[in-house]
Structure 1
Amino acid sequence: MNTVPAAGGFDHVPVIDVRALVTPSSSAAERRAVAARIGAACRESGFFYVVGHGVDAGLQARLEELSRRFFALPLDDKMAIRMALGGPAWRGFFPVGGELTSGRPDRKEGLYFGTELGPEHPLVRAGTPLHGPNLFPQEPRGLREAVLDYMAALTRLGHALMSGIALSLELEEDYFAARYTGDPLVLFRIFNYPPGPSTAEDGQPVWGVGEHTDYGVLTILKQDDAGGLQVKSRAGGEVRWVEAPPVPGSFVCNIGDMLDRMTRGVYRSTPHRVLNRSGRDRLSLPFFFDPGWTTEIHPIDAPALHGVSTLDDRAERWDGQSVHAFRGTYGDYLLGKVGKVFPDLRSKVLS
């Protein structure tokens, strides 16, 4: 068998028009052509921009405006929906420094959302972590509706992009929907990165968010025009950080650790980080499209992966962990990760 080749270097994040994946009347050849570009990006950088995605620009603008208005509120007003009030659903607001990456506080504040589920839902009745109602602020008015409409639109886009990833692996378009994401775990964040000093008292850089990879399958990110997203590239053993600047009308997509595991490391989850050097607030809206909570995660038997054996790359990873060693459901996996982000809430959410 062939082992997974070492990740190569790259100097930019490609822009891919995915109109054929979101347009029902597109031909099979058009869809395969887009899928091939996505597959190449997943192998080379793990990141790609998407345009032609069909998500309403007016909805995006409305959500961005309302988000800025929320973060401009006094801290006491924002803390009225703090995450400690969200219970097992893991929803609500956290202040600057309230979220950790690799044990260090990030310089960002944020709102956590997920699929809106009422008390009658079986997973909510069972007290399942990360399931339940969202916490919405009283002000600004309209934020609730904008968030829910946006999550619905990005869920549709997530299904379309996963159909393209399936085609890129020489699978049927509905492969992921039929086995993993038919009822996806949808998590949505709105982050505000305030400006500030570039180094801490100990001389270490103060990152908006430090080096990390995403946990799941697919991340769809809307970023404002402030910039600051950097993606890690390796070429000939040399590490460099490639800027992923804002591209008007686009989303930045990246694959996470679970798709890395499913593809035996052929599609790599790439480390990335944020450094806000704009001198003003930076708004970021990552949407996570992941397998269902009770879904068992296994490597994929895909024609494009035949003859490939898993490479244990823990020595190269930012956290020193091997995602390929995991066995169990996606919910089991996620619970092992989220407590490291908010350690003060861990005992409450997992109790």
Structure 2
Amino acid sequence: MIQPAPTLPIIDLSLLHQGARDRARVAEQLDSACKQFGFFYLVGHGVTEQSVRSLMSLARQFFATPVEDKLSIHMSKGGRAWRGYFPVGEELTSGRPDGKEGIYFGTELDDSDARVRAGIPLHGRNLFPTTHALREPVLAYIDDLTQLGHRLMSLLATALGLDTEFFRTHYTRDPTILFRIFNYPRRTDGHTGWGVGEHTDYGFITLLKQDDVGGLQVRHADRWLEVPDVAGSFVCNVGDMLERLTRGRYVSALHRVRSSPTRDRLSMALFFDPGFDAVLTPIEDVRPDSDQPHTHVRWDDIDPHAAVGTYGEYLLSKVGRVFPGLRAEAMEHDES
């Protein structure tokens, strides 16, 4: 008999208002979800549905404009900050063009910031279209989800038996924040195809808001699970560096997106990651779960458990494969 597919856990942060015992219970649920799936839904998070819907509406309006207008903020104009718009086919996963377009944002830094003056990649100003009022909603959304990321990492510290401020103290006092808005155009040939192929995320935690089109899938054991939208939720998943720090206790799970033949799909992903200069060595007090097998075979042949150096170095090695042209530009700057 074919067993029904398991469903992702739903973690309710509103329970945290009820006392220490409930915090321990939520932390235990998070620990289980990160061990078993590496994915879960987050509800009761405090981010207003109005702010989410407003930003998604503005994003749809932007993606509906002619491509010539969108190219006015093409990523090539963002310099080493690697911010701005890219059209369908320009971003690669495992060397293959994705079936999505998108805009890259990050922490807003002006030209006087020391990291910007030093020319460190992924640091700088965002590019915003002059024809759409995205700036303030995007920056407010980044702030809201950054705070949510800190709360979530504090809970994960509790789940791991660490001090609640462990991650903020050692890794995320100044987190690397990357925010992407993606549009997956419907397949005009009437068939479904991969908007983005199977991959893992790079850092600590991804906070994803998706519409109701569907198409997101996560690998669990020997099957792919559908991850439909749950009203009022974020889909959250573990990244490579959290798997590394926890010695494989938590799983940076493979996931992918199948495009729809009938509707465009919109998603907004905020990546809450370690500080750029953070050196990530496995946490001594954390042990892998006995039931969780550790595999060194990775989707892109880069094993996070073998990584050395800083998170920034690891991140650049990953992003360089996604946008090889931009990485070449950055390398030329480093050599000059």
TMscore range, shorter length: over 0.9
CA distance in 1, matches of 2:229, 2:173: 31
Aligned mate of 2:157, from 166, 180, 184: 166
Look up the SS of the partner of 2:31 in the other structure. helix
Look up the SS of the partner of 1:208 in the other structure. strand
- Structure 1 residues 199 and 206, CA, compared in 2 at 3 Å: closer, same or farther? farther
Aligned mate of 1:338, from 305, 319, 322: 319
TM-score by length of 2: 0.93
CA distance in 2, matches of 1:84, 1:35: 42
Report the Cα offset of residue 206 of structure 1: 3.3
Look up the SS of the partner of 1:294 in the other structure. coil
CA distance in 2, matches of 1:265, 1:285: 27
Aligned mate of 1:156, from 139, 147, 170: 147
Look up the SS of the partner of 2:315 in the other structure. helix
CA distance in 1, matches of 2:320, 2:265: 26
Look up the SS of the partner of 1:180 in the other structure. helix
1:226-241 pair list within 5 angstroms: 226-234=213-221, 239-241=222-224
Q: Is the 8 A contact 2:187 2:261 kept in 1?
A: no
Report the Cα offset of residue 168 of structure 1: 0.7
**How many equivalent pairs are there?**
329
Q: Does 1:144 align with 2:135?
A: yes
CA distance in 2, matches of 1:129, 1:99: 17
**What per-residue deviation string (whole Å, max 9, x for no partner) do you get for residues 208-248 of structure 1?**
000000011100000001010000111xxxx2110000000
Q: Does 1:38 align with 2:33?
A: no
Q: Is the 8 A contact 2:204 2:272 kept in 1?
A: yes
Task: Give the residue type in structure 1 aligned to 2:209.
Answer: K
Q: Does 1:299 align with 2:268?
A: no
CA distance in 2, matches of 1:244, 1:323: 25
Aligned mate of 2:196, from 209, 224, 229: 209
Corresponding position of 1:264: 247
Structure 1 outlier segments of 4+, above 3 Å:
197-200
Look up the SS of the partner of 2:302 in the other structure. coil
Corresponding position of 2:233: 250
CA distance in 2, matches of 1:14, 1:306: 20
Report the Cα offset of residue 67 of structure 1: 0.2
Corresponding position of 2:13: 18
Corresponding position of 2:266: 283
Q: Is the 8 A contact 2:15 2:26 kept in 1?
A: yes
Greater RCO (CA < 8 Å, at least 6 residues apart): 1
Gaps of 5+ in 2: none
Gaps of 5+ in 1: 1-8
CA distance in 2, matches of 1:29, 1:91: 43
Report the Cα offset of residue 349 of structure 1: 2.8
Aligned mate of 1:60, from 52, 60, 67: 52
CA distance in 2, matches of 1:233, 1:259: 18
Give me the identity figure in percent: 54
Q: Is the 8 A contact 1:197 1:206 kept in 2?
A: no
Corresponding position of 1:5: none
**What per-residue deviation string (whole Å, max 9, x for no partner) do you get for residues 122-161 of structure 1?**
1011001000000000121x21110000000000100011
Report the Cα offset of residue 58 of structure 1: 1.1
Report the Cα offset of residue 170 of structure 1: 0.8
Report the Cα offset of residue 30 of structure 1: 1.4
Look up the SS of the partner of 2:177 in the other structure. strand
Corresponding position of 1:328: 309
Report the Cα offset of residue 15 of structure 1: 0.8
1:309-328 pair list within 5 angstroms: 313-315=295-297, 317-328=298-309
Aligned residues: CA RMSD: 2.0
CA distance in 1, matches of 2:125, 2:232: 30
Report the Cα offset of residue 278 of structure 1: 5.4
Corresponding position of 2:109: 117
Corresponding position of 2:73: 81
Q: Is the 8 A contact 2:182 2:267 kept in 1?
A: yes
Q: Is the 8 A contact 1:226 1:276 kept in 2?
A: no
Q: Does 1:100 align with 2:92?
A: yes
Report the Cα offset of residue 334 of structure 1: 0.7
